[in-house]
Structures are given as C-alpha cells and as structure tokens.
C-alpha cells in the first residue's frame, strides 16, 4: 500500500496506533512496558508533547496526544526507534518489530476527544484482557481515577470538562452501558476523525504550510484507491493479492474486497469488474449478497469491520 499521509500542524490532536509485525507481541515482559513508558515520558518532555491517553496491549499500543509544535513524525520516529533497539537487544532478535509505519488519525477535539478517550481506555476490556478497565495496569485510566500518579499524563481537560468530582463523573462516563460505537467508520479520507467543517479547516491549515514530501496538497484528503483496498485486504488475511483477484466461488476475502472497493472508492462497477475479472451483473450481485450477509451474520460483520479499521485507520 502507499505510504500513509502525515498531516502535521501546531496544536494537532492525534490518535496513534502502532502494531507488532504479523500481529506478534511487542511487549512480552513487564520490563518491556516499563522501558516503553520511560521512552514515552522522555519524548513527551523532549518534544513538548501533551499525552492525554495511552494503553499498552500485548501486540500494539494506542496514544492520544497533542503536538503544540508540528513535530509528530520526529516524536514517533524517536519513540519507536528507541524501543525497537531496546527490545531487539534485550530479546536477542534482529529485524523489524513493528508493522510498517504507525497509524495516525487527526482528531476533532471538540467532537471526539472525550469519546475517543473512552474507546482507548476500554480497549483491554474489548480484548478480554480484563473484566474492568481499572484492572488493566498498563493504561492511563487508573491515573484518571486517581489510583496512581503519572504527572506526564495530562488529565486537565477532563477536570475542566466535568468540573466538581470530575474523576467520579469521568469513570461513570467510561463505564456506563452503551451500544458499541465503531469510531473507525467515522474516519474521513483515512486520516481525519471529525466533522466536514473540521476537515475543511484541516485543508486550510495544510495549505498554509510549506510543502512536505509526505503530505502533498493534492493527496491531503484522498480516499483509498482500489489497489489499496485489495492490498490491505490481502495483507489482513495473509494471502497474495492474486488470490483476491482470481475467480473463486465463495472465497470470503475476495467478496470482502469487492464490497469494500464499492463502499470506499469512487470506482465504477465496470472498472471494478475489469479489476476482478467479472462482468457488471456479477459485481452487483456479489456486493449485494455480501451486504446482506453482513446484516445477518455477526461474525462476517465483525471481520469486515476489522478490515475496514485497517484500511481507514492510518
């Protein structure tokens, strides 16, 4: 797939995700997480970054952070490079540890900061690592509840938001029963979580900055291409792209790729048909059947959602 866009400007808020290569664990011992936190604290100070939320799972981590200066790439390069060198040395291994480049979603603070903080703090619960978010040690949630002190985690926004007894109110917000919200489906252009107005403001900010090789203005808000969807789907299932494009009956990865190409790209059905080597009626029929299958089959719905997260989350 093409290199992900990096939208950088002063005061930007990002949801960062970095995963282990091939889904493998990046934290295998308590000391690994402790060392990562050491590097995280070090770089927060070095790059004058604000960290609002974090969670360190076994094979990936989430950060919700703000960059008062447009230096996200430098911050993340130093953080990940430092940890990879440490990890490989400690565990006597060589080669890449992380799955490509980190993913970065630019977040509309007013609309999604609160909701996204809950989403990240509940990650260990969704993964069934713990039965309650407060039981997971490697998260900023205990800091918000006052169960531990991490002066490098900025909770002030929550205090301002909830006022008196803010810790109790924040806990009630995070733990209240609610329908599952798939925030990744709200991501625009693969890199923006916010309203149309927010996206327009982002485009204006990008236009005010000098051109950067990673974020040419002509691609700043581009939807995923058909090739990117095929590549991302094949990578998710661990198969060659040729397997996706080869005509096979009842092959789920191929059906999902067809469905997502139609849903997330501007390609016409004729163009999709040529790519997948089938005619117009077959494309329409496959997409319609896949849509119906998702509506009635929770497992297929879950799988498609996971593939979408990979495609739409940088």
pLDDT at 263: 81
Which phi and psi (to 5°) does residue 213 adopt?
-55, -35
Domain count, the chain: 2
Full domain range(s) for residue 93: 12-219
Q: Which two tokens stand for residue 184?
A: 């990744």
In this structure, how many other beta carbons lie within 10 angstroms of the beta carbon of residue 49?
Answer: 22
Distance CA 47, CA 288 (A): 49
Q: Which of 219, 244, 259 is the last residue of a domain?
A: 219
Element (H, E) at 226: helix 226-237
The answer, yes or no, to whether residue 218 has pLDDT greater than 50, is no
What letter does residue 219 receive in the DSSP assignment?
G
Q: What is the pLDDT of residues 123-132, one digit of tens each?
A: 999 999 999 9
| β-strands 12-19, 103-107 pairing | antiparallel
Q: Does residue 70 form part of some domain? A: yes
Q: What is the pLDDT of residues 39-83, one digit of tens each?
A: 999 999 999 999 999 999 999 999 999 998 889 999 999 999 999
Q: Are 184 and 62 in contact (CB under 8 A)?
A: no
Q: Which two tokens stand for residue 64?
A: 């919700």
H helical segments located in the chain: 30-46, 72-90, 109-121, 123-126, 141-145, 156-162, 166-175, 196-208, 226-237, 241-245, 252-264, 269-276, 280-296, 298-312
Size of the chain, expressed as the number of residues it contains: 314
- When pLDDT is averaged across residues 74-93 and rounded to a whole number, the result is 95
pLDDT at 194: 85
Q: Which of 176, 202, 219 is the last residue of a domain?
A: 219
The answer, yes or no, to whether residue 217 has pLDDT greater than 50, is no
pLDDT at 209: 45
Residues 145 and 31 in one domain: yes
What are the residues facing 103 on neighbouring strands? 17
Q: Which of 219, 238, 262 is the last residue of a domain?
A: 219
């Amino acid at each position: 797939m093409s290199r992900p866009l990096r939208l950088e400007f002063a005061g930007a808020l990002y949801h960062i995700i970095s995963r282990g290569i091939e889904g493998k664990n990046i934290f295998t011992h308590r000391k690994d997480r402790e060392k990562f936190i050491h590097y995280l604290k070090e770089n927060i100070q070095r790059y004058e970054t604000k960290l609002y939320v974090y969670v360190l799972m076994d094979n990936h981590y989430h950060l919700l952070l703000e960059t008062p200066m447009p230096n996200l790439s430098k911050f993340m390069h130093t953080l990940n490079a430092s940890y990879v060198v440490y990890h490989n040395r400690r565990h006597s291994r060589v080669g890449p540890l992380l799955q490509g480049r980190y993913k970065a979603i630019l977040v509309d603070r007013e609309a999604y900061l609160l909701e996204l903080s809950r989403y990240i703090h509940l990650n260990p619960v969704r993964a069934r690592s713990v039965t309650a978010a407060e039981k997971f040690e490697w998260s900023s949630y205990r800091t918000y509840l006052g169960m531990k002190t991490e002066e490098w985690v900025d909770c002030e926004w929550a205090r301002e938001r909830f006022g008196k007894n803010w810790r109790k109110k924040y806990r009630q917000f995070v733990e209240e029963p609610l329908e599952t919200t798939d925030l990744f489906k709200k991501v625009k252009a693969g890199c923006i979580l916010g309203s149309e107005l927010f996206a327009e403001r982002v485009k204006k900010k990008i236009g005010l900055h000098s051109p950067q090789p990673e974020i040419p203005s002509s691609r700043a808000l581009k939807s995923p291409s058909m090739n990117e969807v095929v590549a991302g789907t094949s990578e998710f299932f661990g198969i060659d792209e040729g397997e996706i494009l080869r005509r096979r009956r009842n092959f789920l990865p191929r059906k999902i790729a067809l469905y997502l190409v139609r849903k997330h790209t501007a390609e016409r059905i004729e163009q999709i048909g040529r790519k997948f080597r089938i005619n117009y009626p077959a494309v329409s029929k496959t997409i319609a059947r896949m849509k119906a299958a998702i509506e009635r089959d929770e497992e297929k719905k879950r799988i498609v959602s996971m593939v979408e997260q990979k495609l739409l989350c940088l």
